[in-house]
């Protein structure tokens, strides 16, 4: 995500306003620097927003993204939705809000976990029958994953946007048990695999642009 944001800054050659939706503690800024970008964030956690401000976010607004984005129309050049859509029962609403607050020609950066169609059906229909705690209403109550994407379903939801790039990541995720993800060679291998075979990864970043009039 950071690479695409820096590229956008270089291409536009002017100060950009970026909105990090569900920004948490503002960790996106740690993958900078982003010279020429003014970072704004939104999150439900007040303590996380304080951390984001300390890290360099210009603005940090408290709020639940499920209720919309409290910003004027066409007020941002870049909107980042990193691992938030899968937690929403109606993710299309947030996508529409992102489109509203983006300026024409603005960039939307979306990151979600993905699966293949048959595992998506199993997680939606079979798993809740076998494991009642996996019911969507219970998952939503504790902010779990309630929406499961395949790459085609994610692209379809972004129908208002022009997709410019798709990058998969983590063809094998070992973060809980092994130190591989701390090594640059493993990161580079992940990036190369995700560029070539985005559907064969556990998460994906989609880079999309709001069409200009």
Of 36-50, 72-86, 136-150, give the lowest mean pLDDT range.
136-150
Residues facing residue 30 across a β-bridge: none
Q: Are residues 13 and 87 in the same domain?
A: yes
Average pLDDT over residues 189-200: 86
pLDDT at 123: 65
In this prediction, residue 30 has a pLDDT band, given cuts at 50, 70 and 90, of very high
Work out the percent of the chain whose per-residue pLDDT is above 90. Answer: 50
For residues 143 and 184, state if they share a domain: no
Domain shared by 138 and 190, yes or no: no
Q: Are residues 155 and 143 in the same domain?
A: no
Average of per-residue pLDDT values in the chain:
86
Tokens standing for residue 132: 């009642």
* Better-scored residue on pLDDT, 21 or 181: 21
| Domain shared by 79 and 110, yes or no | yes
Burial class (CB in 10 A: 0-12, 13-18, 19+), 4: middle
In the block, residue with structure tokens 């300390």: 54
Residues whose CB falls within 8 Å of the CB of residue 199, separated by 6 or more in sequence, listed in order? 114, 116, 151, 168
pLDDT at residue number 147: 81
CATH number at residue 58: 3.40.50.150
Could you report the per-residue pLDDT of 105-134, keeping only the tens digit for each? Answer: 999 999 998 877 666 666 666 666 677 776
Pair (74, 37) in one structural domain: yes
For residue 82, what pLDDT is reported? 93
pLDDT at residue 101, rounded to an integer: 97
Compute the average pLDDT of residues 17-21. 97
| Same domain as 79, residue 40 | yes
Query: Same domain for 54 and 22?
Result: yes
The band of 78, judged by pLDDT with boundaries at 50, 70 and 90, is: very high
Are residues 125 and 35 part of one domain?
Answer: no
Q: Which domain holds residue 24?
A: 2-114+149-209
Which of 102, 127, 147 is where one domain is finished?
147
Whether pLDDT at 137 is above 80: no
Summarised one tens digit per residue, pLDDT across range 155-184 is 999 999 999 999 988 776 555 556 677 788
Same domain, 186 and 90: yes
Which tops the pLDDT comparison, 127 or 78? 78
On whether both 30 and 129 belong to a single domain, the answer is no
| 56 & 96 share domain | yes
Phi-psi region of 68 (alpha: psi -120 to 50; beta: other; left: phi over 0): left
Pairwise pLDDT comparison (10 vs 169), residue with the higher score:
10
Q: How many domains does the chain have?
A: 2
């Amino acid at each position: 995500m950071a690479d695409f944001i820096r590229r956008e800054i270089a291409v536009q050659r002017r100060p950009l306003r970026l909105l990090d939706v569900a920004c948490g503690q503002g960790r996106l800024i740690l993958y900078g620097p982003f010279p020429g970008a003014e970072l704004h964030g939104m999150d439900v956690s007040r303590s996380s927003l304080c951390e984001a401000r300390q890290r360099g976010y210009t603005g940090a607004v408290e709020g639940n993204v499920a209720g919309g984005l409290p910003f004027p129309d066409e007020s941002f050049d870049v909107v980042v939705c990193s691992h938030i859509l899968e937690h929403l029962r109606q993710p299309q609403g947030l996508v529409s809000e992102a489109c509203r607050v983006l300026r024409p020609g603005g960039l939307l950066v979306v990151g979600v976990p993905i699966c293949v169609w048959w595992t998506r059906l199993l997680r939606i229909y079979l798993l809740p029958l076998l494991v009642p705690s996996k019911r969507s209403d219970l998952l939503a109550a504790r902010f779990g994953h309630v929406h499961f994407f395949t790459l085609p379903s994610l692209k379809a939801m972004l129908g208002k946007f022009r997709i410019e790039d798709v990058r998969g990541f983590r063809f094998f995720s070992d973060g809980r048990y092994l130190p591989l993800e701390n090594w640059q060679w493993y990161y580079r291998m992940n990036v190369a695999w995700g560029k070539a075979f985005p559907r064969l990864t556990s998460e994906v970043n989609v880079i999309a642009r709001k069409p200009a009039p």
